[in-house]
Copies of this chain bind each other. A is one copy, B any other.
Amino acid sequence: MHKTCDVMMEKNILEENSKLARKNAELFKDHNVRAFNILGAIGSGKTTVIEKMAEGMADTRVGAIAGDLSGKDDYIRFKNRGIPAVAVNTGKDCHLDAHYVSHALEKLPLDDMDILFIENVGNLICPVDFPLGTEMSVVIISVTEGDDMIRKHPLIFAQSEISVLNKVDLAEIMEVDIGVIESDFNKINPHGKLIKTDARKGKGLEELSRMLKIN
**If A42-B124, A125-B92, A146-B43 touch, does A153 touch B70 (CB 8 Å cutoff)?**
yes
A126 within 8 A of B: yes
Cα–Cα, bound, A197→B77 (Å): 29
Contact at A94–B125, with CB atoms within 8 Å? Answer: yes
Q: Which of B43, B92, B129 contacts A41 (CB 8 A)?
A: B43
B interface footprint on A60-96 (CB within 8 Å = 1, 0 otherwise): 0000000011110100000000000000000010100
B interface footprint on A145-181 (CB within 8 Å = 1, 0 otherwise): 1101101111100000000000100100110000000
Contact at B170–A70, with CB atoms within 8 Å? Answer: no
Contact at B149–A42, with CB atoms within 8 Å? Answer: yes
**Number of interface residues, chain A, beta carbon within 8 A:** 41
A215 within 8 A of B: no
Name the B residues within 8 Å of A149 (CB-CB). Answer: 42-43
Name the B residues within 8 Å of A155 (CB-CB). Answer: 69, 92
Interface residues of A, Cβ cutoff 8 Å to B: 1, 5-6, 8-9, 12-13, 16, 41-43, 68-71, 73, 92, 94, 121-126, 128-129, 142, 144-146, 148-149, 151-155, 167, 170, 173-174
Closest 7 CB pairs of A and B: A43-B145, A144-B144, A94-B125, A1-B12, A73-B148, A71-B151, A43-B146
